[in-house]
Amino acid sequence: MEPEEKIQAHVLSIWKESRGFLSGKGKEGMLILTNRRLLFIKKTEAGIKWWGAVRTRQTVRLLQSKDVMVVEDGYGEEKLRTDLENKKNQKISFDNILYIEAKEKVWGTVLFLDIIEDGKEKKFQFSVVQDWVKYPISAPMKYLKVDWSRFVKYIQDKRIVTK
């Protein structure tokens, strides 16, 4: 993480899925937007008590005001720097984002993202989850309808696409 890199938005309870034929199962994590890139944090050092409290607060806030461009308390650049040491966490440069768009579905709002990673084009979708089922495996039960517009615009304004 670069010294001048700052968190612009921090969204918990994100369900990430690959799009395409035989895409496999999804993953839970956090989506963090900095002034330099987009990050999907699957493995975090943040405590479970913090996660639970902030997730509940985020759900209440998103039910009132749907804007995802918020930075959550208790997770700053230092914790992000620690989490980025784990290779399982995904780092996406703005310039590697080919396509980004949010679409409203009946069940929730989806952020679609096409990126270049390791020289290959990959397609993902991200959704904010309100409720989870934990058994037999963790999976989303209810999604939120959120406003990704400022999030999308921030990325579009920062990226330089050369396809």
pTM score, two decimals? 0.90
Sign of CA dihedral 2, 83, 7, 123: positive
Count other C-beta atoms under 10 Å from residue 143's C-beta: 19
Would you say 129 and 31 are in contact if contact means Cβ atoms under 8 Å apart?
A: no
| Inside any domain, residue 15 | yes
* pLDDT of the residue at 159: 83
How sure is the predictor about 25, in pLDDT bands with cuts at 50, 70 and 90? confident
pLDDT band at 135 (very low <50, low <70, confident <90, very high): low
**What are the tokens at 129?**
């989850």
The answer, yes or no, to whether residue 133 has pLDDT greater than 80, is no
pLDDT at res. 47: 85
pLDDT of residue 21: 61
Residue range(s) defining the domain that contains residue 144: 7-158
Task: Average the pLDDT over 156-161 and give the result.
Answer: 83
What is the structure's pLDDT at 131? 84
User: What DSSP state is assigned to residue 145?
Assistant: P
CATH number at residue 98: 2.30.29.30
Q: Is residue 163 part of a domain?
A: no
Position 90 pLDDT exceeds 70: yes
Give the count of domains, the chain. 1
Q: Is residue 2 part of a domain?
A: no
Distances (CA, A) of 118 to 91, 96, 115, 122, 159: 12, 10, 10, 10, 18
Is residue 143 in a domain?
yes
Q: Does residue 124 carry a pLDDT above 60?
A: yes
Quick one: pLDDT at residue 43?
Answer: 93
Q: Which pLDDT score is estimated for 41? A: 96
* Of the candidate ranges 17-21, 74-78, 95-99, 143-147, the one whose mean pLDDT is the lowest: 17-21
SS3 content of the chain, % helix, strand, coil (to 5): 25, 40, 35
How far apart CA 95 and CA 155 sit, in angstroms, is 9
Q: What pLDDT score does 48 carry?
A: 85
Query: Is pLDDT at 62 greater than 90 in this prediction?
Result: yes
